[in-house]
Amino acid sequence: MIDFSLNENQDLLVKTVEDFAKKEIREKVREIEEKGANDLRKKVFELGLGGVEFPENLGGAGMGMLERALVLKTMSEKGDGGTTYSIFSFLPALYSVFELTQNQDLIKNGIEGKTKITLAKAGIYYDGVQTKAKIKEKDKIVLVVEEKEPQIILFFAEDKSGPSLCSSSEFEIKRKIFRSGLLSSPAYEVEIKSFEKISDVQTQSQNWRRFVARTQIFLSSIVAGISKCAADYALDYALERFAFGRPIAYHQAISFMLADMDILSTSLEQILFKACWEFDNQKDGFDDTATELFLEALEVGKKVTSDAVQVLGGHGYIKDHPTEKWMRDFQDIINAFGSPAKFEGTIKNLETRI
């Protein structure tokens, strides 16, 4: 039996993040959605939350992915998931550098906020933007990033020798891209002017699997926070909203929906902790568990955020309540680095093995 109870340091970490989220995020969500989260990111760096999972010699806190998940989930639950993503959107880029290269200076500068680094997105835009780089002579490389003024863009590309991780500090921002969610993280189309390969990528290697698992845990942690927050908000609303002489929470259809939302959000949290524990303890199959977590986050987040809107009825679709924002943000977060659908084969293999 795995004990997921938190130790003293983890409790203190959660309390620090919770206080920050309630004070700096929860009541300012709409303002942050309009102005962005750069100021909040600076405060996060000052609190030392930028690199809790990285070694101390790289400027981190020497903790693990469990502590990172606690930070992300708590900030998403007590503050806002979309804002949390915007604050920490640099992490997948650092994961790629940490697991696939030996560039310690880049990691240190990224953790301390000295260098704005971002990992180009892939697979989520359908307006003619090419998001998978194919390197050929004379071809333009056009990508999508979520940083207004990045200093370094990382992206995965493929040539005759195979896939590689590339870095560029010379690029041109072409245009801003419209999307419905994550408005606090504006997306931009950029054209790469020059780049360098910083690492070959072996997709069957342990380091590649660790990079993917880190990214899946990163996204799933935020979705777990959004799901729990949406479930709690819907319950509070249903207890205050009266229809036919009693709170709508006491009507059978609504009560069943609220119960399902709570069960799903709680179970996702347990799978999240299990995936982090296996990753931090280097257990066999940690990558399968991370993928299982990611797919569960897809299903739970989709149902809970949409059900929260449904519980609120027409109120769920207006900006007087945050449920519509959580539903919009979830879609962009879970698809941030490619569609989760491609991992379905892994789950089928897991089911066969079991």
Residue 120: inside a domain, yes or no? yes
How far apart, in whole angstroms, are the C-alpha atoms of residue 205 and residue 318?
A: 47
Q: Is there a single domain that holds both residue 181 and residue 62?
A: no
Q: In this predicted structure, what is the pLDDT of residue 127?
A: 34
**pLDDT over threshold 60, residue 344:** no
How far apart, in whole angstroms, are the C-alpha atoms of residue 116 and residue 148?
A: 10
Domain residues for 224?
Answer: 206-353
Compute CA 130 distance to the chain's CA centroid, rounded to the nearest angstrom.
22
How far apart, in whole angstroms, are the C-alpha atoms of residue 116 and residue 276?
A: 27
Number of domains in the chain: 3
Mean pLDDT of the chain: 88
In angstroms and rounded to an integer, the radius of gyration of the C-alpha atoms of the chain is 20
CATH of residue 15:
1.10.540.10
Q: Give percent of the chain above pLDDT 90.
A: 71
Q: In this predicted structure, what is the pLDDT of residue 183?
A: 87
How far apart, in whole angstroms, are the C-alpha atoms of residue 161 and residue 159?
A: 5
Q: Is there a single domain that holds both residue 40 and residue 70?
A: yes
Contacts of 150 (CB under 8 A, 6+ apart): 116, 117, 118
- Per-residue model confidence as pLDDT tens digits over 14-40: 999 999 999 999 999 999 999 999 999
- Per-residue model confidence as pLDDT tens digits over 272-282: 999 999 999 99
Longest dimension (CA), the chain: 71
**pLDDT over threshold 50, residue 128:** no
**pTM listed for this prediction:** 0.91
**pLDDT over threshold 50, residue 192:** yes
Q: Is there a single domain that holds both residue 181 and residue 251?
A: no
For tokens 């891209």, the residue is 177
**pLDDT over threshold 60, residue 129:** no
The domain boundary residue, chosen from 43, 66, 95: 95
DSSP state of 212: H
Min mean pLDDT across 8-17, 130-139, 217-226, 238-247 is at: 130-139
Q: In this predicted structure, what is the pLDDT of residue 1?
A: 58
* Angle separating helix axes 91-100 and 206-240, nearest 10 degrees: 160
The domain boundary residue, chosen from 152, 180, 200: 200
3-state helix, strand, coil in the chain (%, to 5): 60, 15, 25
